[in-house]
Amino acid sequence: MHIASARFRCSSTRLDQCPSDGKLEFAFIGRSNVGKSSLINLLTDSPALAKVSSTPGKTKLINHFLINDRWYIVDLPGYGYARVSKAQRQGFSQLITDYVFRREAMYFLFVLIDVRLEPQKIDLDFINLLGQHGIPFGLVFTKCDKLSSNQVESHVARYKRTLRQSWEELPPIWYTSSEKRQGREAILDFIEKCLDQAAQTPQP
Ligand code: GTP
Ligand code: MG
């Protein structure tokens, strides 16, 4: 898909502040510092659209970016931020759960996973919650440039083995590197298919 325009639309601290124009939303979530904002900048080809920081916990609000005047990319706050209390770190903020479980405009959720790490409890807990609520989601492995391609394959295989312990069917998976610009086309093509599909489905 060609990105003709990408602009910041708004930041929200509550669900009722999010846009109400009915345009479909594709949201990005994951642990703090996993590379959500960097991936959004890669997808939109705009190096400074979403704020990237080496300090975890940078994105604290729900940020909407309007793409091609037609759909939204949504940058969600990270979870598992190390510099908050343990109780806060292990749970998911109200803002995150409100958005993920109640936002009708959200068509698909991309869950970002740092490919270097072994499966983390907080990500698995989150993925299982998504399953329980029937939320459509996929996994995006980030920072693939930090490992050799063999290591990437073995880490993703380990992740799939872990997921198969509780899931019969695996979600769609993408490999990305914002550094090497890897994964951009595959994700944008997927979004384009979703938009086409939604356009063909009559609204209730
Ligand atoms: P929060 O908003 O704080 O939750 O973080 P985030 O998930 O938006 O991560 P962000 O995009 O700000 O990136 C965090 C750090 O990881 C930055 O220093 C990025 O430069 C780095 N980073 C992100 N993606 C990649 C990648 O694909 N490869 C490499 N090598 N570094 C990356
Ligand atoms: Mg961010």
DSSP 102-171: H-TTEEEEEEEEETTSPPPHHHHHHHHHHHHHT--EEEEEE-GGGS-HHHHHHHHHHHHHHHHTT-SSPP
201 C-alpha to ligand 2 centroid (Å): 32
Q: Quick one: pLDDT at residue 52?
A: 77
pLDDT (tens digit, 9 = 90+) per residue, 62-71?
A: 999 999 999 9
- Ligand 1 atom 23 nearest Cα: 35
List, for residues 34-74, the tens digit of each pLDDT value. Answer: 999 999 999 999 988 988 777 666 567 899 999 999 999 99
Q: What SS3 state is found at 29?
A: strand
Give this prediction's pTM.
Answer: 0.94
Q: How far is the CA of 141 from the centre of ligand 1 (A)?
A: 12
Which class is domain 6-198? alpha beta
What is the structure's pLDDT at 60? 77
Q: Which atom of ligand 1 is closest in space to residue 60's alpha carbon?
A: 2
Structure tokens at 75: 């940058």
User: Are the C-beta atoms of 115 and 42 separated by less than 8 Å?
Assistant: no
Tokens 């991936």 correspond to what residue?
39
Nearest CA to ligand 1 atom 12: 52
- Edge to edge, the sheet with strand 137-142 lists 6-12, 62-67, 71-75, 25-30, 106-114, 137-142, 173-175
For residue 80 and ligand 1, the question of a CB distance below 6 A is answered with no
Question: What pLDDT digit, counting tens, does each position of 76-99 carry?
Answer: 988 876 555 555 555 678 889 999
Atom of ligand 1 nearest to the CA of 58: 3
38 Cα to the center of ligand 2, angstroms = 7
pLDDT at position 50 is 85
Q: What is the mean pLDDT of residues 24-30?
A: 97
Measured from the CB, is residue 56 less than 6 Å from ligand 1?
A: yes
Q: How far is the CA of 128 from the centre of ligand 2 (A)?
A: 23
63 lines ligand 1 (CB under 6 A): no
Mean predicted lDDT score pLDDT of the chain:
91
Residues 6+ apart with CB under 8 A from 37: 50, 51, 52, 53, 58, 59, 75
Per-residue pLDDT at 58: 59
33 CA: nearest ligand 1 atom? 5
> Can you tell me the distance from the alpha carbon of 78 to that of 30, in angstroms, rounded to the nearest whole number?
6
- Is the CB of 58 within 6 Å of ligand 1? yes
